[in-house]
Chains A and B, each alone.
Chain A
């Protein structure tokens, strides 16, 4: 086999390998049950917030690990604790099934008026260790939510009592600090346990 043929064989082999890899990736992604992959992951904007221990939170806080981010508030009696409980169960299930990577659970408060760091600390620790809760000035929260397409609005329920309508989605942030996938409600454990290893392992 001459040098020209060897080169052609190498190129064909490389093309085949790329094709197989692409097909495998496509096949993996078609196995997703719920997650919507963001084709061009969105970098987090500049913002300055606080975590539940009063430490600064910026876009850099979201680098270095996978994060499942939910926007809610602690005075929400139904959807927020149910979602966080589901996320905690998902994390536990991934750990129990030997997943190499498990995401951190992050709650970003859309009710900073009532959700002080101290309030958030008690709340997120209830759902397990290693969770992160974020609060701060409303305009800084809006910088983050606006960049990610997250909606929230304060609504009066009764007298002084108010609620906050908010996006029900859970966002997956990759270790580069980019919004890379979205899970819409309803949040089902089986969907996440299927999809997360595909996404996190296929990176």
Chain B
């Protein structure tokens, strides 16, 4: 299980920009990201993996279609599977998070693949979209891989 090392206080940094109006409860942001772990790129590499828990507090399903960051050339959603002893990585076009439920992106399963790091900033900005709709913007920092 991944640990949220170097996690910035997630809730404090989350800016829920979504105007999704069918919130289940008025005191909960409609779309929340917690337990955010963006692994620091391996030496000589420009890629990271992202693990995160996404909660949909609305009464409607949310389709996460893409994630954008100024700190990486591209971010894809992937799924690692071990099928008959063979480790495979598959790209996911979108991630559906049902109303009132949570989706975990974790090691050995669904995860973010952040490619082509564009700068040396220790802070990473992530913008989560459903089509044209910006669901969430957040900032976090790299997590050291536990030695």
Is A185's CB under 8 angstroms from B85's CB? yes
- State whether A184 and B42 are in contact (beta carbons under 8 Å apart), knowing that A88-B147, A157-B91 are contacts in the complex: no
Q: Take A122-B44, A151-B86, A168-B85 as given contacts and tell me if A158 and B91 are in contact as well, using a CB distance cutoff of 8 Å.
A: yes
Query: Could you mark each residue 8-39 of chain A with 1 if its beta carbon is under 8 Å from any beta carbon of chain B, else 0?
Result: 00000000000000000000000000000000
Stretch from A56-64, A135-143, A159-167 forming part of the interface with B:
A159-167
B87 touches A167 (CB 8 A): yes
A74 contacts B by Cβ under 8 Å: yes
**Within residues 45 to 61 of chain A, which ones have a CB less than 8 A from any CB in chain B?**
none
A183–B12 alpha-carbon span in the complex (Å): 42
Kindly state the separation between the CA atoms of A163 and B81 in the bound complex, as whole angstroms.
Answer: 13
Across the interface, name the chain B residue whose C-beta is closest to A157: B91
Main secondary structure of the interface of A (DSSP, over half): mixed
Within 8 A of A (CB), among B35-78: 39, 42-45, 47-49, 76, 78
**Which A residues between 166 and 203 are near B, CB-CB below 8 angstroms?**
166-169, 184-186
Chain A residues whose CB sits within 8 angstroms of the CB of B113 once the complex forms: 77-78
| CA A103 to CA B20, docked complex, whole Å | 54
Residue pair B147, A165 in contact (C-beta under 8 Å):
no
Q: How many residues of B contact A (CB 8 A)?
A: 26
Contact B85 A169 (CB under 8 A): yes
What is the total number of residues of chain A having a CB less than 8 Å from a CB of chain B?
A: 35
Q: Check A85 against B43 for contact (C-beta < 8 Å).
A: no
The smallest C-beta distance from A18 to any residue of chain B, in angstroms, reads 37
A167 to B86, CA, bound (A): 4
Q: Is the CB of A85 within 8 A of B91?
A: no
Q: Are A78 and B85 in contact (CB under 8 A)?
A: no
Kindly provide the distance from the CB of A192 to the nearest chain B CB, expressed in whole angstroms. Answer: 16
Chain B interface, DSSP helix/strand/loop, else mixed: strand
Say whether A112 faces chain B, with CB atoms less than 8 Å apart: no
- Known: A77-B49, A79-B108. Is A168-B86 also a contact (CB below 8 A)? yes
* Chain A residues whose C-beta falls within 8 Å of the C-beta of B95 in the assembled complex: none
Q: Smallest CB-CB separation from B44: which chain A residue?
A: A122
Of A74, A82, A89, A157, the residue contacting B108 (CB under 8 A) is A82
Contact for A74 among B39, B45, B145, CB less than 8 A: B45
Q: Give every chain A residue within 8 A of B108 (Cβ-Cβ).
A: 78-79, 82, 186
A85-B87 contact in complex given A74-B42, A78-B49, A122-B43, C-beta closer than 8 Å: no
- B contact set with A: CB distance below 8 Å: 39, 42-45, 47-49, 76, 78, 80, 82, 85-89, 91, 107-108, 111, 113, 115, 145-147
Could you jot down 24 A-B contacts, CB within 8 Å?
A74-B42, A77-B49, A77-B113, A78-B108, A78-B111, A78-B113, A79-B108, A82-B107, A85-B145, A122-B42, A123-B44, A126-B145, A127-B147, A151-B85, A155-B88, A157-B89, A157-B91, A158-B76, A161-B115, A163-B88, A166-B86, A166-B87, A168-B87, A184-B85
